[in-house]
Amino acid sequence: MKYDTDPFTYEVIKDSLISTGEEMFIALAKTSMSPIIYEVLDYACGLTDRKGELVTQGNGVTGFIGMLSFMVKETIDKYGEDIHEGDVFLINDPYKGGGSHLCDVGVVMPVFHQGELISFVANKAHWTEVGGKDTGSMSTNSTDIFQEGLQFPCLRLFDKGEANDQIIELIETNVRFPELSIGDLWAQVASLRTGGGRLKELCDKYSRQSVIESMERFLDQGEKLTLNELKKLPKGTFEVEDLIDDDGITEEQLNVKLKLTITDDEFICDYRGSSPQVQGPINSSYTGLVSSVRTIFLAITNSNQDVNDGAFRPLKIITDERSVFSAQRPAPVSMYWESMLYGNELIWQALAPLLPNKLSAGHLMSVCTVIMGGKHPDKDEDFLIVEPSVGGWGATNERDGDTGQFCVLDGETFNVPVEVAETAYGIMVDEYSMRTDGAGAGKHRGGPGVIRSYRSLTDNQFFTASFGRHKTNAWGADGGHDGSNNEFYIEKNDGQIDGPFGKYNQYKLNKGDRVVLKTATGGGYGKPTDRNREEIELDIKNGYITLEQAKNDYNYSGAE
């Protein structure tokens, strides 16, 4: 490939493009109204070339890595030449255009320089509310998309710089916390404008041609890097299967399978034969699956690279139509990660034995989402918690697993501090501790899961949660034992226990009732009997395992 721009100027332009993505990302977090955005960082910002190929993306979570470019491509497909400077498009359609669930709302803006289209900037963020049957717009028992909230099928929100107030009014009228949703929408638009401004400055400085050429060159470099890494991977075909807990409506487990083929220049993930789309809301959109596959693909090929669509050119993803990984209207999708994560998990399981330097044993494998709301005891207002939970990660060939980390589809995600939670919400946290159940024994031990409890301080609160990997455990590797599962139960004020559950929609809680959330301990790595004595003794001293477990699992003979 021959380029007109010299390698040094190219480097400067490329760095500026990357920092533009990062800057858009920071701008959104700092102005958002929703904890799910500013604390959990459940959003992504990026820019694409004129054709919608992702050039650079600022991420808070990995789960959006496949979505921005599809959003832009959908906009181009729908509007073609009818795209003008100052336009902003609003999109959350789950079945096309980079959709996941309705809560993840995207905005797309074309960037023009002296009248010529040079790029698109886009971002996608989790809104706390988009309407629908349940507060928080996520349910474990919805049976079609219409119960899950407002659908934005790529609408023109700004027409040449003029906001369409009617759309905004429609949103305000149909969501439960309009100040949050609309506040976040403005934050998203401000972030787009920041990005657009930077791109124009860059064209002013280095010429439009150089900037456009540098985008293409960056994409080509991404592909080249991936091809180099593919050459180092084991070649062949690998097959694995696993079970999704259930669809939230019935108790039946769902089979999912992968046939993975790696060649010198392709990485083909074939999910055909997996469960068809189901009645409950655990269906994943195809772009959800793509994001999930891309995440583990990067972990395997090159986790440090600056992410762009070029890096994914060698990746092929195949599904049946209308499968649990490629749902179509009107399948419900609000808890889509419960199947989306398996796209990632199956590849992880297939390759963990072959790539011990890249992959750990199994981790908690669920976002473990909690949605809880009600009255604050001291304020005349409602509160709403929407948050993921931390849990245990698997051990690796070198060391014990981490405790208290979010699942792989989260990322630069932060838990809500107890002091902040108790101030903002009508609850008290009685415990935030490690779940030292001793599972995940191994030469290297799985990281313990976490226990967090919420005690209601007012009557008539509600609690919804989806904890996947409830009916199965996090898996061990290379002779390491399996970890544990995710679960929660309710301890009523009178001491009665209800549960454990993996999913529950709108459980009613009164003052003094407590929900106890327990996430999985990660899988162990290597045979427990190979763990050295000092480490076992320190584990007992630190309360990670009991003396009994040391004897049973590790063959520990007692203090000398």
Partner 1 sequence: MRVATDIGGTFTDLVAVDEEGKITVGKSNTTPSNFEKGIFDVIEKADISFNDIEMFFHGTTVVINALTEKQGVKTGLITTEGFRDVLEIARGNRPDLFNVKYKKPVPIIERHLRKEVSERLNYKGEVEKNLDLKEVDGILDYFRSEGVEAIAISLLHSYKNSDHEKEIAKHIERNWPEVHVTTSSELSKEWREYERTSTAALNAYVKPIANDYLNNLEEKLKGKGAGKNNYIMQSNGGTSTFDVAKMSPINMVESGPVAGIFGASILGEMLGEKNLIVLDIGGTTAKCSLVENNNVKISTDYNLEQTQQYAGYPLKVPVVDIVEIGNGGGSIAWIDDSGSVKVGPKSAGAEPGPISYGQGGESPTTTDANVLLGRLSLENFESSTDLESIKKSFQSKLGDELNAGTDDLAMGIVKIANSNMLNALKLVSIRKGYDPRDFTMVAIGGGGPMHSQDLARELGVKKVVIPSTSPVFASWGMLMSDLRHDYSQTLLAKTEELSFEKINNEYERIIEDAKNTLSKEGMDESNIVVTKSLDMRYVGQEHTVEVTVPFDEMNVNNINEVIQNFHENHERLYTYTLPENGTEIVNIKVKVLGKIEKPKMSKEKRDVGEKHLGRRSVFFEESGWIEVDVYAKDFLDDTDRVNGPAIIEEQTSSTVINKGDVLTKDSYGNMIIEIGGLSNEI
Q: What residues between 295 and 354 interact with partner 1 by CB under 8 A? A: 295-296, 298-299, 303-305, 307, 348
Phi-psi region of 257 (alpha: psi -120 to 50; beta: other; left: phi over 0): beta
What is the smallest separation between the CB atom of 45 and partner 1, expressed in angstroms? 14
Restricted to residues 439-458, the positions that interact with partner 1 (CB under 8 A) are: 450
Q: Which stretch binds partner 1 (CB under 8 A): 145-153, 356-364, 472-480, 491-499?
A: 356-364
Q: Judging by beta carbons within 10 Å of its beta carbon (0-12, 13-18, 19+), is residue 223 exposed, middle or buried?
A: middle
CA distance 285 to 307: 22
Nearer to partner 1, 147 or 436 (CB): 436
What is the smallest separation between the CB atom of 423 and partner 1, expressed in angstroms? 4
Nearer to partner 1, 143 or 413 (CB): 413
CA distance 325 to 338: 10
Q: Which two tokens stand for residue 348?
A: 């992880």
The answer to whether residue 33 forms part of the interface with partner 1 (CB under 8 A) is yes
Contact residues for 502 (Cβ-Cβ < 8 A; gap 6+): 245, 246, 466, 467, 468, 470, 471, 485, 486, 487
The answer to whether residue 405 forms part of the interface with partner 1 (CB under 8 A) is yes
Site pattern 38..57 for partner 1 (x: CB under 8 A): xx------------------
Interface residue with partner 1 among 5, 16, 319, 473 (CB under 8 A) is 16
Interface residue with partner 1 among 69, 119, 140, 221 (CB under 8 A) is 221
Nearer to partner 1, 228 or 493 (CB): 228
Nearer to partner 1, 284 or 360 (CB): 360
Restricted to residues 166-195, the positions that interact with partner 1 (CB under 8 A) are: 179-180, 183, 186, 190, 193-194
Nearer to partner 1, 92 or 415 (CB): 415
Q: For the chain, first and last CA: distance in Å?
A: 68
Interface residue with partner 1 among 166, 541, 558, 560 (CB under 8 A) is 541
My answer on whether omega of the bond before 330 falls inside 30° of 0, hence cis, is yes
The DSSP secondary-structure symbol of 439 reads -
Q: Judging by beta carbons within 10 Å of its beta carbon (0-12, 13-18, 19+), is residue 382 exposed, middle or buried?
A: middle
Restricted to residues 412-441, the positions that interact with partner 1 (CB under 8 A) are: 412-415, 417-420, 422-423, 428-434
Interface residue with partner 1 among 75, 100, 403, 461 (CB under 8 A) is 403
Query: Hey, what long-range contacts does 227-231 have (CB within 8 A, 24 or more apart)?
Result: 227/265, 227/314, 229/300, 229/301, 229/302, 230/262, 230/263, 230/264, 230/265, 230/266, 230/267, 230/301, 230/314, 231/264
In whole angstroms, how far apart are CA 406 and each of 367, 402, 485, 516? 7, 10, 15, 18
CA distance 508 to 464: 9
Query: How many residues lie near partner 1 (CB under 8 A)?
Result: 86
CA distance 482 to 442: 9
Interface residue with partner 1 among 231, 235, 272, 399 (CB under 8 A) is 399
The answer to whether residue 396 forms part of the interface with partner 1 (CB under 8 A) is yes
Crossing angle, helix 178-206 and helix 7-31, to 10 degrees? Answer: 160
Restricted to residues 100-159, the positions that interact with partner 1 (CB under 8 A) are: none
Nearer to partner 1, 184 or 246 (CB): 184
The answer to whether residue 493 forms part of the interface with partner 1 (CB under 8 A) is no
What is the smallest separation between the CB atom of 146 and partner 1, expressed in angstroms? 29
Site pattern 224..253 for partner 1 (x: CB under 8 A): xx--x-------------------------
Of 437, 371, 387, which is closest to residue 132 (Cα–Cα)?
Answer: 371
Q: Judging by beta carbons within 10 Å of its beta carbon (0-12, 13-18, 19+), is residue 264 exposed, middle or buried?
A: exposed
Nearer to partner 1, 96 or 531 (CB): 531
What is the smallest separation between the CB atom of 267 and partner 1, expressed in angstroms? 15
Interface residue with partner 1 among 104, 242, 245, 410 (CB under 8 A) is 410
